[in-house]
A and B are shown apart, each in its own frame.
Chain A
């Protein structure tokens, strides 16, 4: 019995090491998932025209500004009735990058300067850093169109999953 103890310890230590490595690997693969959250109105209203963007991708001030300007939403009207607007705004704020308890969201939030209120996720420094190896031609492929089309390459984008292992760039 005693003879097995060192092996068990070794095993435990290597498992712990693997877990740590995975945690530390977030930049190049590993678990790149945001906290799973959902709201029925958000799912329907925010995904009619584009990818369903996870609340943890932008800070509270960005979501508030964006939701207050839906009548001119990136050049289009995405106007909502006030009740629906409030419900979705509250949901986005609750799980926003700076309000959420999610560690990954917090990192996104802290990478955005306090004086800036980005409305495009693609304008943030961390987005640019994560996509620095993607060339302009790739973004312009018909099945992608623009960097805003997360789901074109990240199948789990709408669930907040951006694991590099799941990335499939369409031709």
Chain B
């Protein structure tokens, strides 16, 4: 499974070098094989689970309550703000930001960072696919 994950990441990185443009739907679908590997009972990605995931607050080991929405705001169509640096974060929903989920390597880069920052672990392929499904569903 680790090798599969590694080859998926390598592919994603290679894709990034050539700035491979994809649609959010394609990127979501790209997590299917890995989700099946991680869970043989895997059925599909669900926007509703992604929505819960996006808003779910957890207590970080630093003591602070944190969620995806902490920086990306409760409405993914809004512009977010990095809590400490005040840097603007473009909206997460593709309907409000056409660049969102268009580069597989960039998507992987940010999942790797932000899952660590919020959950203090890597996200599963199921979580990543659900997350994209939710943001795609925002109209």
Contact = CB atoms under 8 A, between A and B. Distances in A.
B82 interface: yes
A51 B85 contact: yes
Contact of A77 (B13, B86, B112): B112
Contacts of A74: 84
A148 to B, nearest CB: 7
Contacts of A51: 85, 87
Nearest to B105: A81
B85 A148 contact: yes
A69 interface: no
Interface in A54-73: 71
A149 B116 CA distance: 24
A75 interface: yes
A50 B85 contact: yes
B86 A149 contact: yes
Interface string A96-140: 000000000000000000000000000000000000000000000
A81 B106 CA distance: 11
B84 A145 contact: yes
Q: What is the interface of chain B mostly: helix, strand, loop, or mixed? A: helix
Interface string B16-37: 0000000000000000000000
B3 interface: no
A144 B85 CA distance: 8
B62 interface: yes
Contacts of A144: 86
A76 B86 contact: no
B58 interface: no
B38 interface: no
B117 A145 contact: no
B85 A145 contact: yes
B117 A143 contact: no
Contacts of A48: 87
Nearest to B10: A81
A144 B117 CA distance: 23
Given A76-B113, A77-B113, A77-B116, A50 B87 contact: yes
Contacts of A76: 113, 117
A16 interface: no
Interface string B68-104: 0000000000000010111100000000000000000
5 contacts: A51-B85, A75-B62, A77-B113, A80-B109, A81-B109
Please list the 6 inter-chain residue pairs (A to B) with the smallest Cβ-Cβ separation, ordered nearest first.
A77-B113, A50-B85, A77-B116, A145-B86, A76-B117, A49-B82
Interface of B: 13, 62, 82, 84-87, 105, 109, 112-114, 116-117
